[in-house]
Amino acid sequence: MGKKLFGKKKQNRKRILMLNYEFPPLGGGGGIAAKKLAEGFIEKGYIVDYLTTGFKGLKEFEKVNGINIYRVKVIGRKDLSTATMVSMLTFPINSYKKARELCEKNKYEFINTQFAVPTGPLGVWISKRYNLKNVLSLQGGDIYDPTKNNSPHLHWYYRKVVRWVLNNSDIIVAHSSNTKRNAIKYYHPHKQIKIISIPYELTKFKKVLRKSLGLEEDKLYLIGVGRLVKRKGFDFLIKSIAKINNDKIHALIIGEGPEKENLINLAKELNVSGRIHFLGFVSEEKKFQYLDNSDIYILSSVHEGFGIVLQEAMQVGLSIIATDNGGQVDLVKNNQNGFLIKFGDENAMKKSIEKLINDKKLRLKIKKNNQEKIKEFRLGNIAKEYFGVLG
C-alpha cells in the first residue's frame, strides 16, 4: 500500500471502522486486545471509529486515547464483566443503524470486526452493503470455549453461522495458532487464516514497595488476573496451593465474576483461605504494582484464546506457569520463559512452582527473556501486519 498509507498529515488521514461488542471497562481480554490494536492503527496515522455496546454510566460517544467510541444500547446487559446471550444477540441488530450512519458520513479504508460471534454478522452486512474490505479478528473464545455448553463449536446451528461469517469475511486473522486450528477443525472455512498476535505496549506505572500493598516481605506470591469464570480455572490454582505444604506461599487473584463465591468456599474447604487473597477489581496501575511485587504468574485457564495477562507478566519479568491448551503455547516455552502444564495436573503445578522458587538463577534468566520477548508485540509492528494482509 506504499508510503501513502502511512502519511500522517491531517488532511490525508484515513479511517478504519472497528466493530466489537466489547470495549473496556466492558468485557474482558477481547475488548482490551481490540483497544490496543486501535491504538496501533492510530500510531500509524489512521483515524479509528469504534462501535461497541452501551452500558449504564458509559457515554454514548467519547474519545479514549484518540479512539472515537460509539456505544449502542442492547437488551439484557447486566454487568461489566460478562455478557448475557440476549445482549450478544441484540448487539449486531441494534448496531446496524449506527454502523450505516458512520459509513454514510465517513469514507473507510476497511472494517475490522472483532469476534466471529456476536459481532461477525454485523461486519459482513456492513462490508457487503458498502463494498468495504472486512478483516475478521478471531479472539479464540468466540469460536471455542470448552467450559460453556453454548460454545459455538458444540451446536450445528452456531457452527453454520460462524462458517457463514468466516466465508463472507474478506480476510480472517487468528490471534494464535490454537485459534487457527480450532477454526479449521470445527468450521472448515474455504479461506486462509493468518496468525497475527495481539499488540502490546509497555504500561507505565509507579513502582511501590510490598508493604504499601499490604504484602509481606517474607512471603512468596503467586498471582493470577482474570474474570472469575469457570474457563479461567482459578479452582485449579487453589487446589494446587492446597497441595503445597508451605505457609509462605500465597496466591493473589485479581478480578470479579460469578464464580467468586464458589472459589471462596473452595479455599475454606481446603483450609487455605488464609493463603488465597481475592483482590477484586483494581486499577491498571494497582494491577501492575501487584504484578511487579509478585514472584510467579499463574495462568490456570481451561483454555485461553491468547492471554494478554501473559504479556503483562512478561513486562515486569515474572516467571510464568501456564496450562497448555490455547494461545499461550505460542508465548510460553519450557525453561525459557516459564512452564506449560496440563490443566488439572495439581502435581505438575506444585513441582513447577517449587522448581521456580528454589532456582533463583532460572528466575533471573526467565526475567531477562520475558522482558526481551515482549518487545515483539509493539503496537506499530502488529498494526503493520494487519496492513500487510490487506495486500
Interatomic CA distance for residues 60 and 53, integer angstroms: 9
Q: What's residue 201's pLDDT?
A: 87
Residue 280 domain-assigned?
yes
Residue 9 has pLDDT above 50, yes or no: no
β-pairing verdict for 67-72 and 61-64:
antiparallel
Q: What's residue 4's pLDDT?
A: 40
Whether residue 26 sits in one domain with residue 103: yes
Whether residue 226 sits in one domain with residue 134: no
Q: In the numeric block, which cell numbers belong to residue 199? A: 499488540
Nearest residue to 223 (alpha-carbon basis) of 183, 277, 186, 268: 277
When the pLDDT of each residue in the chain is averaged and rounded to a whole number, the result is 93
Residue 12 has pLDDT above 80, yes or no: no
Residue 139 domain-assigned?
yes
Residue 235 has pLDDT above 90, yes or no: yes
Residue 120 domain-assigned?
yes
Largest CA distance in the chain: 65
Cα 306–chain centre separation = 6
Q: What's residue 90's pLDDT?
A: 96
Of 23-32, 45-54, 99-108, 183-192, the range with the lowest mean pLDDT is: 23-32
Output 81 or 236, whichever has higher pLDDT.
236
Output 201 or 50, whichever has higher pLDDT.
50
Interatomic CA distance for residues 1 and 143, integer angstroms: 31
Q: Angle at the Cα of 349 (from 348 to 350), degrees rounded to 5?
A: 90
Whether residue 191 sits in one domain with residue 50: yes
Whether residue 285 sits in one domain with residue 180: no
Calculate mean pLDDT across residues 261-285: 96
Surface-to-core class of residue 325, CB atoms within 10 Å of its CB (0-12 exposed, 13-18 middle, 19+ buried): middle
Residue 281 has pLDDT above 70, yes or no: yes
3-state secondary structure 2-29: HHHHCCCCHHHCCEEEEECCCCCCCCCH
pLDDT tens digits for range 174-194: 999 999 999 999 999 999 999
Reported confidence tier of residue 305, pLDDT bands at 50, 70, 90: confident
Residue 58 domain-assigned?
yes
Interatomic CA distance for residues 139 and 244, integer angstroms: 34
Domains contained in the chain, number: 2
Q: What's residue 1's pLDDT?
A: 40
Whether residue 155 sits in one domain with residue 52: yes
Q: In the numeric block, which cell numbers belong to residue 293? A: 511485587
Contacts of 172 (CB under 8 A, 6+ apart): 136, 138, 166, 183, 189, 191, 192, 193, 194
Residue 150 has pLDDT above 90, yes or no: no
Residue 109 domain-assigned?
yes
In CATH, what number is assigned to the domain containing residue 145?
A: 3.40.50.2000
Residue 183 domain-assigned?
yes
Residue 5 has pLDDT above 70, yes or no: no
Give me the phi and psi of 268, to 5 degrees please: -65, -45
Q: What's residue 81's pLDDT?
A: 78
Whether residue 257 sits in one domain with residue 174: no
Long-range contacts of residues 352-358, Cβ cutoff 8 Å, at least 24 apart: 352/321, 353/222, 353/240, 353/244, 353/249, 353/296, 353/321, 354/244, 356/295, 356/296, 356/319, 356/321, 357/220, 357/249, 357/295, 357/296
Decide which of 169, 196, 223 is a domain's last residue: 196
Q: Are 240 and 346 in contact (CB under 8 A)?
A: yes
Structural domain of residue 165, as residue ranges? 2-196
Of 9-18, 100-109, 336-345, the range with the lowest mean pLDDT is: 9-18
Whether residue 126 sits in one domain with residue 262: no
H runs (alpha helix) in the chain? 2-5, 29-43, 85-105, 120-130, 156-167, 177-187, 234-243, 260-269, 284-292, 308-315, 346-358, 360-373, 379-390
Q: Are 300 and 234 in contact (CB under 8 A)?
A: yes
Whether residue 144 sits in one domain with residue 53: yes
Residue 352 has pLDDT above 90, yes or no: yes
Residue 7 has pLDDT above 70, yes or no: no
Residue 384 has pLDDT above 50, yes or no: yes
Reported confidence tier of residue 348, pLDDT bands at 50, 70, 90: very high
Residue 381 domain-assigned?
no
- In the chain, the N- to C-terminal Cα span, in Å, equals 7
Decide which of 140, 168, 196 is a domain's last residue: 196
Whether residue 269 sits in one domain with residue 370: yes
Interatomic CA distance for residues 347 and 12, integer angstroms: 58
Residue 2 has pLDDT above 80, yes or no: no
Interatomic CA distance for residues 183 and 74, integer angstroms: 28
Give me the phi and psi of 131, to 5 degrees please: 55, 50
Whether residue 93 sits in one domain with residue 50: yes
Whether residue 191 sits in one domain with residue 108: yes
Q: What's residue 41's pLDDT?
A: 94
Interatomic CA distance for residues 310 and 322, integer angstroms: 9
Q: What is the DSSP string of 233-282?
A: -HHHHHHHHHH---TTEEEEEEB--TTHHHHHHHHHHTT-TTTEEEEES-
Decide which of 196, 218, 246 is a domain's last residue: 196
pLDDT tens digits for range 119-134: 999 999 999 999 999 9
Residue 382 domain-assigned?
no
Whether residue 289 sits in one domain with residue 143: no
Of 240-244, 258-262, 327-331, the range with the lowest mean pLDDT is: 327-331
Interatomic CA distance for residues 260 and 264, integer angstroms: 6
Q: What's residue 349's pLDDT?
A: 96
Residue 369 has pLDDT above 60, yes or no: yes
